[in-house]
Amino acid sequence: MTESVPVLKHPMAKYIREDRQPWIYCSGCSVGIVTGMVARAIDNLGIDFSKVVVVSGIGCTGRTSGYFKTGTYYTTHGRAIAFAEGVKIANPELEVIVVSGDGDIAAIGGNHLIHACRRNIDMTIVCVNNFNYGMTGGQFGPTTEHLRYTQTSPPPIGNVEHSFNLVKLAASSGATFVARWTAVHVRRATKSIEKGIEKKGLSFIEIVGACPTAYGRMNRLGDGVAMHRHLLEVADIQNGLPPHEAELDYETRIVCGEFVDVEKPEYTAVLREAYKKLRG
């Protein structure tokens, strides 16, 4: 009689397309951790997974949508939010989650981000900020800090530009739930993603992550473990802090927490109410 060997299965595997393994992510990357956060948030809420739509744009984080075993769409660069808006407005019953990177969401898709926040359409945007364009080999982007090195901001000058603070950007654009965590704050970040999903409005959750392969190497920030350890060390949890004080300085202090949680009429709800009145 042969003894069957028990195969350990990851508890979140039920949400994942296992036939697409292995992951595309480099070792030490944060995107896989964030994928886990999103899966756990969905699991904790116990929502009907078939009604969840995961959308992303181009980039390393953009590949996330393809791993989820539900209706998923990988848009052109920067357009995840625009696609998601069409989905949500056309079928408000769906739970729409956008998972994409800082370059995709804040550079080429920056216009869509601010206007989606302004409209307050019910969706959850999880933005992994790893400070550079990883997929193309590490170029500076809208979140790269001043004077940091990348393949297109090489030594000795470094990045001539200044970075966006995504929490401030989303909050001032009108998002009704805004949070920031790092990739090591798995439980807290997962909780915020859950709140974001439950929130009837636009939720923006930034996850500060590590890209040891490109950004870490160019700036001598160490390997994946060292970078994640650093994120834990410099994180300063300040729940409820006004969003305009949510500073992010990679070297010294990354303010984390939930900064905005306000109520504002949500786009599809306003439409639904207006139609009800119209029909008497």
Among 31, 37, 61, 83, binds another protein (CB under 8 A): 83
- Is residue 100 within 8 Å of residue 124, measured between CB atoms? no
22 contacts another protein (rule: CB under 8 A)? no
3-state DSSP call for residue 74? Answer: strand
C-alpha distance from residue 253 to each of 143, 237, 238, 246 (Å): 15, 10, 11, 10
126 contacts another protein (rule: CB under 8 A)? no
Helix boundaries (H) for 46-201: 80-90, 102, 110-119, 166-173, 186-198
Single out the segment in contact with another protein by CB under 8 A; choices: 107-115, 142-150, 188-196, 212-220.
107-115
12 contacts another protein (rule: CB under 8 A)? no
CB of 50 to another protein, least distance (A): 6
Residue number with CB closer to another protein (17 or 187)? 17
Report CA 156 to chain centroid distance, whole Å: 32
112 contacts another protein (rule: CB under 8 A)? yes
* Distance between start and end Cα atoms, the chain: 72
Nearest to 178 by CA among 151, 145, 201, 205: 205
Among 23, 43, 74, 161, binds another protein (CB under 8 A): 74
DSSP secondary structure letter of residue 28: T
The CA distance from 280 to 278, in Å, is: 5
Residue number with CB closer to another protein (39 or 87)? 87
21 contacts another protein (rule: CB under 8 A)? no
Q: Which residues are registered as beta bridge partners of 16?
A: 68
75 contacts another protein (rule: CB under 8 A)? yes
Among 29, 33, 82, 234, binds another protein (CB under 8 A): 82
CB of 85 to another protein, least distance (A): 5
Q: How many residues bind another protein (CB under 8 A)?
A: 38
Q: Which residues are registered as beta bridge partners of 202?
A: 123
76 contacts another protein (rule: CB under 8 A)? yes
89 contacts another protein (rule: CB under 8 A)? yes
**If residue 235 lies in a helix (H) or strand (E), which one and from where to where?**
strand 235-237
Nearest to 59 by CA among 130, 113, 6: 130
Residues 43-72 that bind another protein (CB under 8 A): 50-51, 53, 55, 65-66, 69-72
Quick one: tokens of 193? 């993603």
Write out the residues near another protein by the rule CB under 8 A. Answer: 17, 19-20, 50-51, 53, 55, 65-66, 69-76, 79, 81-91, 93-94, 111-112, 115, 271, 274-275, 278
